Amino acid sequence: MGLTVSDQNALVVVDVQNDFCPGGALAVVEGDAVVPLANTLARRFRNVVLTQDWHPAGHASFASTHGEAPFETVELSYGTQVLWPDHCVQGTDGAAFHPGLDIPHARAVIRKGLNPAVDSYSGFREADRTTPTGLAGYLRDLGVGRVFLCGLATDFCVAWTGYDAREAGLDVVLVEDACRGIDLGGSLARAHAEMDARGIMRITSADLG
């Protein structure tokens, strides 16, 4: 495929945090496998942005907050919310980036999910679909027209970041081998279909010439 990376491109490395890796509170199977791939990919980009899931204790997306079991759903003001184990609590080791993540030239870290009452899978805006994180404006100011995505989890934070990138008018390329999914009730296949429908290109690292 031979896609060429330019200064008008950015790599967004989504949520490569301890809690999403084996041993973490919301471990994604093989989540840590994306670390060396993200490191290698990042060397090709001048513009690298990291996202970091960053919840206050007692967050609305935590099952414990509602006295429910993880992976149940509840209806919140903005729609159906999957309930997760407590994860990525601000300032905890679980919320830290995986220690193997080695991207010293990353130029911004976008923290998300800070609002106690609203989740934010997307790096662009909260799940109420209104409150922006500032990432769209940041990328626009840098002249970025295309984003490449990698990280965790394919079917939640990576996918939603991709959908919102498209809605912000960006071209979007998912680097599939540098992602891992949670796959809750078929969510991974659904996310791939949705990405295809929204014009998100799916490639592997090897396609980056």
Contact residues for Zn ion, defined by CB under 5 A: 53
Single out the residue of 45, 84, 124, 163 in contact with ligand VGL (rule: CB under 6 A). Answer: 84
Active site residue 21: no
Q: Can residue 157 be called a binding residue for ligand VGL (CB under 6 A)?
A: yes
**Residue 5 touches which of ligand VGL, Zn ion, none (Cβ within 5-8 Å per kind):** none
CB 21 within 8 A of CB 28: yes
Residue 73, classified by CB atoms within 10 Å of its CB into exposed (0-12), middle (13-18) or buried (19+), is exposed
Q: Can residue 25 be called a binding residue for ligand VGL (CB under 6 A)?
A: no
Say which of 21, 157, 164, 179 is annotated catalytic.
157
Residue with Cβ nearer Zn ion (55 or 192):
55
**Residue 153 touches which of Zn ion, ligand VGL, none (Cβ within 5-8 Å per kind):** ligand VGL
* Nearest residue to 110 via CA among 100, 102, 120: 120
> Which residue type, as a one-letter code, is found at position 53?
D
How many other CB atoms are there within 10 angstroms of residue 8's CB atom?
Answer: 14
Q: Please name every residue paired with 73 in a beta bridge, in sequence order, or none if there are none.
A: 82
Say which of 21, 53, 112, 119 is annotated catalytic.
112
Active site residue 179: no
Active site residue 86: no
> Which residue type, as a one-letter code, is found at position 171?
D
